[in-house]
């Protein structure tokens, strides 16, 4: 028939089908973190495939850190994990453009997360954000403590979006984010630190007021980075490579 000309059916391998089924069960909560998986034999009988097929599917899930597999013990569910992405982001951060890439990625993630958080946040999450803003303001002279409050503020917003994939991607950025914050805070003036606190405060207020448009706007402004900061990061990376 003419409407099917040129169409190609993709062959789906049996291990991929098994992997997709198990992944779906993890995503929908049927299999929770810590839950043991049935044995290879039980899974093979359930899926009506060979043990070799199940073994390959399990190997792929283990490589993605979705499963915890140890010799002599049943495999168990780890759930969604940011480890594979974290490795990728660490590799990408070694060049001078890495910090700019980080900012652009975080802007894309967190502007949307802020809008969703304004609509979905819980009272407990809102209180957490308020305490983080206070912590930032009170710890300007203590950059390491302030850095942790900064990370927790942004993590809480992403968690409040109720989007597990956004949370997974964001958590994978933790090492790069904290490293960049350490470099930036060591060069900022008191006025720049105070401006940073204020930028966090207005994001919090938009989320408090359940205003998703304003929350996205304020988060976008928050990521307007001074070109001098980018230059400092690049120079620091050049020195570290020598």
Q: Which residue ranges make up each domain of the chain?
A: 10-77, 83-241
Query: For position 113, what pLDDT does the model report?
Result: 97
Q: Is the pLDDT of residue 89 over 60?
A: no
Query: For position 114, what pLDDT does the model report?
Result: 98
Return the CATH class of domain 83-241: mainly alpha
Q: Could you tell me which residue, 10 or 165, shows the higher pLDDT?
A: 165
pLDDT digits (tens, 9 = 90+) for 140-172: 899 889 999 999 999 999 999 999 889 988 888
Query: For position 82, what pLDDT does the model report?
Result: 53
Query: For position 79, what pLDDT does the model report?
Result: 65
The full DSSP string for the chain is -GGGTT--PPP--HHHHHHHHHHHHHHTTSS-TTPBPPPHHHHHHHHTS-HHHHHHHHHHHHHTTSEE--TTS--EE--S-SHHHHHHHHHHTTSTTHHHHHHHHHHHHHHHHHHHHHHH--HHHHHHHHHHHHHHHHTTT-HHHHHHHHHHHHHHHHHHTT-HHHHHHHHTTHHHHHHHHHHHHTT--HHHHHHHHHHHHHHHHHHHTT-HHHHHHHHHHHT---HHHHHHHHHHHHHHH-
Task: Indicate the pLDDT class of residue 1, thresholds 50, 70 and 90.
Answer: very low
pTM above 0.75, yes or no: no
Please say whether the structural domain 10-77 has been given the CATH code 3.30.70.1450.
no
pLDDT digits (tens, 9 = 90+) for 95-148: 556 677 888 889 999 999 999 999 999 999 999 999 999 999 999 899 889 999
């Amino acid at each position: 028939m003419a409407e099917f000309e040129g169409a190609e059916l993709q062959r789906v391998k049996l291990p991929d089908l098994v992997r997709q089924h198990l992944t779906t069960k993890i995503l929908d909560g049927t299999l929770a973190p810590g839950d043991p998986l049935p044995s290879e034999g039980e899974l093979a009988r359930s899926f009506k495939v060979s043990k070799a097929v199940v073994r390959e599917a399990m190997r792929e899930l283990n490589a993605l850190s979705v499963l915890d597999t140890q010799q002599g013990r049943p495999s168990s569910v780890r759930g969604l994990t940011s480890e594979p992405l974290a490795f990728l982001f660490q590799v990408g951060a070694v060049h001078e453009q890495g910090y700019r890439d980080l900012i652009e990625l975080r802007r894309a993630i967190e502007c949307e997360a802020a809008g969703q958080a304004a609509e979905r946040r819980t009272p407990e999450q809102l209180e957490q954000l308020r305490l983080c803003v206070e912590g930032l303001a009170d710890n300007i002279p203590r950059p390491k403590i302030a850095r942790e409050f900064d990370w927790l503020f942004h993590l809480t917003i992403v968690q409040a979006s109720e989007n597990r994939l956004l949370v997974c991607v964001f958590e994978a950025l933790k090492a790069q984010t904290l490293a960049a914050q350490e470099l930036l805070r060591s060069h900022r003036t008191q006025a720049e630190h105070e401006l940073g606190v204020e930028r966090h405060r207005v994001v919090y207020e938009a989320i408090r007021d359940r205003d998703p448009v304003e929350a996205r706007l304020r988060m976008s402004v928050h990521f307007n980075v001074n070109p001098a900061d980018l230059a400092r990061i690049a120079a620091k990376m050049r020195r570290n490579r020598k």
